[in-house]
Amino acid sequence: MGSITKRFWGNEKIRYLFVGLYNTAFGYGFFAVIWFFLHHDLHYVWLLIISHFVSVINAYLGYRIYVFRVKGRWLKEFFRFNMVYLGAFGFNLIALPLLVERLNLHTLIAQAIIVSITVISSYILHRRFSFKKNGAQSKLS
């Protein structure tokens, strides 16, 4: 790997940015796809719940493997990771109906606004809580 590429991928914030962009696109895209096919049959809050669970598993794998490069206690780590996402999910469960019902925003536009708000806070919480490096965890080579 060239020195520029090595330096580029050696930066955790850059890796977080790229994996986060992918995760955001995946999560929003998955929500949009199931909304498109199921919004006549299921309320958007149920669609949000479904997309949350699928997106969290996808995001966990990306952050664990590519961004924070940790190994070790994956079950404990996955629990902490979910704690962070449950906070974001709770915010989403409150904000989405407010934006859709009160401000009359389209569901997909409201969800895009909410996703953009949670990106920075999730990085900080994942770095300091979900994937906190300690003696039991080490960088992958």
The per-residue pLDDT for 80 is 84
Q: Are the C-beta atoms of 113 and 128 separated by less than 8 Å? A: no
Secondary structure, 3-state, 57-112:
HHHHHHHHHHHCCCCCCHHHHHHHHHHHHHHHHHHHHHHHHHHHHHCCCCHHHHHH
Tokens 């019902």 label which residue? 101
Evaluate if residue 9 carries a pLDDT over 50.
yes
pTM: 0.74
pLDDT (tens digit per residue) in 95-119 = 999 999 999 999 999 999 998 888 7
Q: Are the C-beta atoms of 131 and 76 separated by less than 8 Å? A: no
